[in-house]
Structure 1
Amino acid sequence: MNNVLKAWEVKVKKSQASAKKRAATMFTTMSVAHVDEEASDIKVSHVEKIFSNGDIYIGQWVAENYPHGDGKYLWSDGCMYVGEWCKGKSNGKGKFSWPSGATYEGQFKNSYIDGEGTFTGSLNDTYKGFWVMNKKHGKGKESYGNGDHYEGNWRKGLHDGQGTYQWNSGHQYIGQWKKGKMNGNGIMIWSNGNRFDGNWEGGLPSSHKDLDPLLLFSIEMSECVIHEAESPSVFPSEKMFIWSKGESKNHKHHKQQIRINSKNENKGINLQSVERQGVTICKGHKNYELMLNLQLGIRHSVGRPAPSKSVDLKATGFDTEEKLWTKFPPEGSKHTPPHQSCDFRWKDYCPFVFRTLRKLFNVDPAEYMLSICGDEALRELSSPGKSGSFFYMTHDDKYMIKTMKKAEVKVLKRMLPSYFEHVKTYENTLVTKFFGLHCVKLSGTSQKKVRFVIMGNLFHTNVRINRRFDLKGSSHGRITDKPESQIDANATLKDLDLNFIFRLQNDWFQDFCRQVEKDLEFLEHERIMDYSLLVGVSFRESNQELENSNSEPNSTGTSPRVSSADTDTSITSLNPTRWASVRLGMNMPARVEKTVRSHQNQLVGEATGEFYDVILFFGIIDILQNYDINKKLEHAYKSFQFDPTSISAVDPIQYAKRFRDFIFSVFKEDD
């Protein structure tokens, strides 16, 4: 493979050398990506391909053996392109992301970044404007990671023409540029009020080239250094695509709609497994130091002396107003080790409560610390949630870490005593399991605080999760806005996307109904709304019994509490080790029945009588939103425009009733 890559690099260099001969004409006008009109009649199918080097392609494909239309290409090194293709090349609108966290979204032409688009670097550099053959060219705006800004003309990746540069110190230059330097007529205005209006050459006032600029303007010209923008480590046009037929490990056509061969056949749906979500946070990533701080803090917290074996806590353990911060200087201290990150402070909220919760959930302290703080880095999920929070996953997928708003922290602190009693009383509760609440306070002038909560990952399993649904019981806006080509096994679908009824065996269904009632009573009492039932569906293949799935017992290490439904023959016929791993909401054998809607806004479709076997994972998530003034205003505003019963933001009592009615209409007892 190394020889292939070297040969490819030589080929790329040769093609770039020949391209330079055409550069003069190519850079004179702006080009916008478009799809070749001759290709419009090409017949395409939908495929999923895994190549021998580990690359993956999912999307539209033509018989000539290349992508054409919408599709996603994931390289084994973590780079990914999602968007339009034409005859095997990225062409049209698309998004390219790098392992560092950098992204480009906009126009492509013949696999080049070409046209209008936005590049966001891992160090917070952002360029929005025009490109030609991977170069910034034309009008554009650049916001640099250090706080500087430039707006104006670009040529071949450099400031060239009329433009304005604003330094974060307050200095400003307005005028002409050439090859990235101030050149021609321009005005420099310093933050102290000094200014120079005249001719510039090579970045200095040309009329005073023989004089010391420090004497002229009483300020160091070194403060007016042009910041160097972050550049992608590799461009899409330099990445290697593999289209030859012999390279494919798996080439599988499938229909866009899930279909069932017959009512009684247990053939399932053989959907391709998808790579783990997220980008590994390595050195150079914008949140690398934040990850180190979190891991250092967790080691410190978990390493404290353990409380007694009893899970009964004193009221003082729930004191959320206690201000206990631990300093983590880089050189180390009496209580903290030396480290390679920045100076920061760490806070544990109710540490003994969460330590007791972890014990209650049967979480081993050593395994917990290794999952979060081991040698493997965390993974940052590709995009923040609707709330603006960021999500991080541990390397083993056991735990999810979410950044929190201050209001969410207040809700969790307020409800913590009731939450503790609820999960202690109801071992099979479906509500989110919380394992820790922490805060990192960065040093420096910003004094930025980042609050984290650590939760169990509902989908920690080796079973393939083929479909994910986030269900609220409301209809307004509850449909996926992604095009079909971008919906894969990692996409989270919504209420109006659901085309199944979930059928649970008799005793499991009774346990499910009782637990949902208890959990909703708790949430309603705490004035919580806007929560969801997250459901993961794994379709079982005809030649794959549950005991062959090698699923781990659950996401948190909790010992399973087995329902009386386990005496059913369809369960007891399984391998005993698999039988022991089944619990309410985790690794549950079930059936789903396909439904069809008579109109688009019908919340629950009509049953078709088509069944197939599945394994279900489900739980209640997003339980930290109370019915505050913002939600009340949202309800009042949207009620004027839409049916008040269709929107998510409603009173907790009404929300719980609607949620209950919907869940019990899509979860049924199996006949």
Structure 2
Amino acid sequence: MSRIESKKKHIKTVHQKRKLFRAKEPLLSVFMWGINHSLNELAHVNPPVMLMPDDFKASSKVRVDNHLFNKENMPSHFKFKEYCPLVFRNLRERFHVEDQQYLNSLTKLPPIDLESSTSAKGATRRFNSWDGLFLVKTIESYQVAEVHNVIKAYHEYIVERHADTLLPQYMGMYRVTVNDAETYLIVMRNIFSPRMTIHRKYDLKGSTVDRQASDKEKSKDLPTFKDNDFVNDGVQLIVGENAKQRIMEVLKKDTTFLTDQNLMDYSMLLGIHDIEKAEIERETREREAEEGEDECFSSEEDCLGAHTNTPPESPISPGRLQYSESVENPLQDDIYGIQCAGEGKKEIYFLALIDILTHYGMKKRTAQAAKAVKHGANAEISTVKPEQYAKRFLEFIDKVLS
């Protein structure tokens, strides 16, 4: 046997290292893998000078059949599809979100599963990115079609307005297929601050019929209250005349855009951060931490253990999207927060439009007719024509802002 042949027998094959995307379920592992793959592919594509009509219909997809994946981390077979990749990359740029930031937020750690909800539109799952910057939401196939219907006009509107809007800021739309089950996901900027606790939350449409939180909803840690709850609670959003005028100007333009696209049934999501309550909560946490340390050091063994264990790194990096508690304009720097202008009332409001993808078609017209029969023609039902919906919505918001 030759010397060369002998050496070859001792050569060990080294497989290329794979970046693992560990999550508690295959859907999220594949989603993280797909985001990483998509952005790596886009990195090799120069941004076009201008988007073409085909870009608004385009998609990229990849199918993986790989036995080398550890099934505890990734399924061996899956598919990932991204819709309109160049368009959404351009939108992220308009919203001042860099690809590296987007990649880090969605792949460094798994998204955090929020409480699922079920409505007449179907079951919805929501996830926050680990750093709280983005919301990942499951949508139905008809909503994917609706995004395709409005994406060109939406992009033109964002460009025209220089992203000065309270519409959802869409970052990407995807399809994940695992075990032949297809899941559609859309990513948008989170309305709420990752650094401020939301103490009360409302979903407001400007309608009164069936617009109160259920007992089941009220039992949650952070319920989503509705219009009747808002009125009964006597909430008044004191933002000052200049801020109110600015918000209403933007909302009028946004709702005109939605009306032109024949969209309705959207809401204003409002989150209220109570500064004084947050301070009490912080002091309580610090006191409990100190008491925990005192208890820890009560024995020599625990004392030694405390010195040898390093606390885990905070999941929110300190340099990301810091919300100031003196924000004057909810649209400044794409931040949705505005400080209460009322004397002696220390609150910060976060507000923006959500759920804008409901088209006023035959199904909605039928629902409107049915509700009118049940509640009367003059009842403030949520299912009305887009023009009427926008008018009533603006009137309601105008009343609650001062």
- Note whether the superposition's TM-score is higher than 0.5: yes
The aligned residue for residue 448 of structure 1 is 181
Shift of 1:665: 1.0
Instruction: Tell me, in whole angstroms, the C-alpha distance in 1 between the residues paired with 2:214 and 2:49.
Output: 46
Conserved? CA contact 2:116–2:124, under 8 Å = no
Q: Determine the C-alpha separation between the residues in 2 that align with 1:621 and 1:319.
A: 24
Instruction: Say whether the 8 Å CA contact 1:311–1:360 is kept in structure 2.
Output: no
2:148 to 413, 417, 422: 413
Gaps of 5+ in 1: 1-280, 334-338, 545-551, 561-576, 593-609
> Which residue pairs with 1:495 in the alignment?
227
Would the alpha carbon gap of residues 416 and 525 (structure 1) be closer, same or farther in structure 2, given more than 3 Å must change?
same
Candidates 317, 336, 360, aligned match of 1:586: 336
Contact 2:336 2:350 in 1 (8 A): yes
What's the CA shift for 1:506?
Answer: 2.6
Q: CA 1:580 to 1:653, structure 2 compared with 1: closer, same or farther past 3 Å?
A: closer
Residue 529 of structure 1: how far off its partner (Å) = 0.6
Give the superposition deviation at 1:582: 5.2
Distance in 2, matches of 1:539 and 1:431, equals 25
Alpha-carbon spacing, 1:646–1:368, altered in 2? closer, same or farther (3 Å): same
What secondary structure, in the 3-state scheme, does the structure 2 residue paired with 1:401 have? strand
TM-score w.r.t. the length of structure 2 is 0.75
- For residues 223-276 of structure 1, what are the alpha-carbon distances to aligned partners after superposition, in whole Å with 9 as ceiling and x for unaligned? xxxxxxxxxxxxxxxxxxxxxxxxxxxxxxxxxxxxxxxxxxxxxxxxxxxxxx
Q: Which residue number corresponds to residue 270 of structure 2?
A: 535
The equivalent of 2:219 in structure 1 is 486
Matched with 2:99 is 365
2:394 to 644, 650, 660: 660
Cα pair 1:361 1:556 within 8 Å, conserved: no
1:5-20 correspondence runs (5 A):
none
- Give the structure-1-normalised TM-score: 0.46
Out of 339, 357, 363, the residue aligned to residue 630 of structure 1 is 363
Partner residue of 1:402? 137
Asked if 1:325 corresponds to 2:57, the answer is no
Quick one: distance in 2 between partners of 1:328 and 1:372?
20
Which SS does the other structure have where 1:537 is aligned? Answer: strand
Q: Which has the higher contact order (CA 8 A, sep 6+)?
A: 2
Mapped contact 1:311–1:356 kept (Cα < 8 A) = no
Q: Distance in 2 between matches of 1:634 and 1:506?
A: 38
Say which of 73, 78, 93 aligns to 1:344.
78
Task: Work out the percentage of aligned pairs sharing the same amino acid.
Answer: 27
Preserved CA contact (<8 Å) 1:479 1:495 = yes
Q: 1:418 deviation in Å?
A: 0.9
The structural deviation recorded for 1:556 is: 9.1
CA spacing shift, 1:616–1:310, aligned 2, 3 Å: farther
Query: What is the match of residue 293 of structure 1?
Result: 30
SS state of the match for residue 623, structure 1?
A: coil
Structure 1 CA distance for aligned equivalents of residues 237 and 113 of structure 2: 32
Gapped runs of 5+ residues in structure 2? 1-20, 280-315
CA RMSD of aligned residues (A): 3.2
The equivalent residue for 2:252 is 517
1:578 Cα deviation from its structure 2 partner: 5.8
Bigger helix share: 2
Partners of 1:362 and 1:556 within 8 A in 2: no
Structure label with greater radius of gyration: 1
Amino acid at match of 2:247: F
2:302: which partner in 1? Answer: none
Distance 2:57 2:89 in 1: 15
**How many equivalent residue pairs?**
333
Q: How does 1:154-303 map to 2 (within 5 A)?
A: 288-303=25-40
When residues 454 and 497 of structure 1 are mapped into structure 2, their CA distance, relative to the original with a 3 A threshold, is same
- Partner secondary structure for residue 116 of structure 2: coil
Distance 2:278 2:368 in 1: 50
Alpha-carbon distance in structure 2 between the residues aligned to 1:455 and 1:442: 23
SS in 2 for 1:345: strand
Residue 406 of structure 1 deviates from its aligned partner by 1.0
1:620 to 335, 353, 356: 353
Structure 1 runs (4+) greater than 6 angstroms displaced: none
Distance change (3 Å), C-alpha of 1:543 and 1:464: closer
In structure 2, how many angstroms separate the alpha carbons of the residues matched to 1:591 and 1:300?
Answer: 46
Question: SS at 1:502's partner residue?
Answer: coil
Q: Choose from 39, 43, 53 the match for 1:315.
A: 53
C-alpha distance in 1 between matches for 2:325 and 2:211: 35
Corresponding letter in the other structure for 1:439:
R
The offset of 1:383, in angstroms, is 2.3
1:470 has 2:220 as partner: no
Match of 1:648 in 2: 382
Letter aligned with residue 274 of structure 2? F
Deviation at 1:586, TM superposition (A): 2.2
Letter in 2 for 1:655: Y
What secondary structure is seen at the aligned counterpart in 2 of 1:647?
Answer: coil
